[in-house]
Structure 1
């Protein structure tokens, strides 16, 4: 083990040259919050895939193996945390499972935060063959899981129509071995807000998130990174971690939205104007003011 007490994260996610998704959305906040972050980019694209033209390349599994082997050979493969997001194929996801097992040989206490990115709003944007690998191989290895409602439904087979259904899905994820489950967003709110739910060690909380008339990309990646950081910094305080995470995220999203609206006052905002303003909100990331509180619910 490294004698330095600084927490060390290995983050394996996508990378974009322009904008903030994947590692571009996760690494900076983690560093600002005092974490050493090593990161492997599963893809290097010009922009995220919501843009019209996508250029770039994909890291092959043998290249990923080579990078991990280099870390192991140089004995710099000790990590306190492991973070994953979007995976493009079942094979790449199976590779992730192998890497977790390898890292846990070096540090059995390694905390794995998994954002099982598969889709949203009833639509999958990864190959369907990825689902059984998440469900049967990767999810049981995770300590913290941060799916949205649709992803939780896919993994558990439970339809979420109300808070009770959401808690059933969360319980089913706990039954797979996940200690802490966070539904990062659900459709259970109203026209003005959506609800996130979190559950750990027999405690459950819900929190309301204000809706904006724009779609942001990279918020799920940012959510998982912030949750990882605050879970560590609050010594596993679920309520406080949820509040710090959501308050940070909401501030960044609202700031991004307001700036976009000053430039583009009406109609649909162009994608380039709603890239998350992370750098401009560095002080908020470091010390978020809690303006949204979580309420306890019966698990």
Structure 2
């Protein structure tokens, strides 16, 4: 891969015209962190699917092969391939081939955010076939970032908010055995403390488990998972290690939620990202990551 002054990410996500999610947050976050984003829209929606009904949905599966063929002719390469929402099960296979073609450099970081569902259920556009295809895709990732619901679906485990930390560690390990060296589970419940949620992670390279805790705020904002993983990707590309990247992601999302919670607007629009993007360029204070014994 040629050296370049600005790192380059192929961001394979949907594009929603209204609502802060997917490419609408991926692009500004990574750009603010000094990283070039090369967008691959997997679908175009009038709004995101979190809280909106009767939205327009255009599946771009048929356009992707020609899209990627042009990139091959241009001999493009990437420092990172970062996938999120898919429009169809067939699309996941096409993206798998894209990773084979463009991610064969050992220095290329492959990050899969296995977007499937939340709160114990699949999203309205997801199917069982897509879940099974996603299991195959995570095998090609260096890092995966499922939320708690998605981790349960990938492992065919029940969605149990009373899960113990020892069982969460087992989930992390089993997901890592599917292929990725690093596994991050967001929105992990803390059954011992209902006022706290966790981001937990496992790094197979050093066999360490990590946890970053955050105070639970009683509000749901679509797109926070996309924003968290984007900060994580940007942090790792800037040279941070996994626990620091986790910490930066959690601190940013916490700041975004706090900036949004007191404002009077529909929460389905997502966090007020515009108010906190500048935080990404402020000095970072390591504060909250822990090793899980």
Query: Does 2:185 align with 1:187?
Result: no
Q: Kindly state the Cα deviation for residue 35 of structure 1 after the two structures are TM-superposed.
A: 0.6
Against the structure 1 CA distance between its residues 163 and 178, is the aligned structure 2 distance closer, same or farther, given a 3 Å change threshold? same
Pick aligned residue for 1:215 from 213, 216, 220: 220
Pick aligned residue for 1:234 from 232, 236, 239: 239
Q: Kindly state the Cα deviation for residue 36 of structure 1 after the two structures are TM-superposed.
A: 0.9
**What is the TM-score of this pair, normalised by structure 1?**
0.89
Against the structure 1 CA distance between its residues 220 and 46, is the aligned structure 2 distance closer, same or farther, given a 3 Å change threshold? same
Number of the residue aligned with 1:66: 66
Q: Kindly state the Cα deviation for residue 70 of structure 1 after the two structures are TM-superposed.
A: 1.0
Cα pair 2:10 2:78 within 8 Å, conserved: yes
Cα pair 2:59 2:88 within 8 Å, conserved: no
**Partner deviation per Cα, 1:96-131 (whole Å, 9 max, x = no partner):** 1111001024x3421111110111121112101112
Greater shift, 281-290 or 43-52, is seen at 281-290
Q: Kindly state the Cα deviation for residue 284 of structure 1 after the two structures are TM-superposed.
A: 0.7
In 2, Cα distance between equivalents of 1:95 and 1:16: 21
Number of the residue aligned with 2:42: 42
Q: Kindly state the Cα deviation for residue 52 of structure 1 after the two structures are TM-superposed.
A: 3.2
Secondary structure of 1:45 counterpart: strand
Against the structure 1 CA distance between its residues 55 and 90, is the aligned structure 2 distance closer, same or farther, given a 3 Å change threshold? closer
Cα pair 1:21 1:221 within 8 Å, conserved: yes
In 2, Cα distance between equivalents of 1:204 and 1:231: 17
For residues 241-260 of structure 1, what are the structure 2 equivalents within 5 Å? Answer: 241-258=245-262, 260=263
Number of the residue aligned with 1:266: none
Q: Kindly state the Cα deviation for residue 280 of structure 1 after the two structures are TM-superposed.
A: 2.0
For residues 96-135 of structure 1, what are the structure 2 equivalents within 5 Å? Answer: 96-105=95-104, 107-125=105-123, 126-135=126-135
Q: Kindly state the Cα deviation for residue 56 of structure 1 after the two structures are TM-superposed.
A: 4.7
In 2, Cα distance between equivalents of 1:65 and 1:196: 35
Number of the residue aligned with 1:270: 266
Cα pair 2:43 2:86 within 8 Å, conserved: no
Against the structure 1 CA distance between its residues 158 and 46, is the aligned structure 2 distance closer, same or farther, given a 3 Å change threshold? closer
Number of the residue aligned with 2:8: 8
Q: Kindly state the Cα deviation for residue 253 of structure 1 after the two structures are TM-superposed.
A: 1.3
Cα pair 1:222 1:249 within 8 Å, conserved: yes
In 2, Cα distance between equivalents of 1:227 and 1:287: 16
- Segments of 5+ residues of structure 1 without an aligned counterpart are 264-268
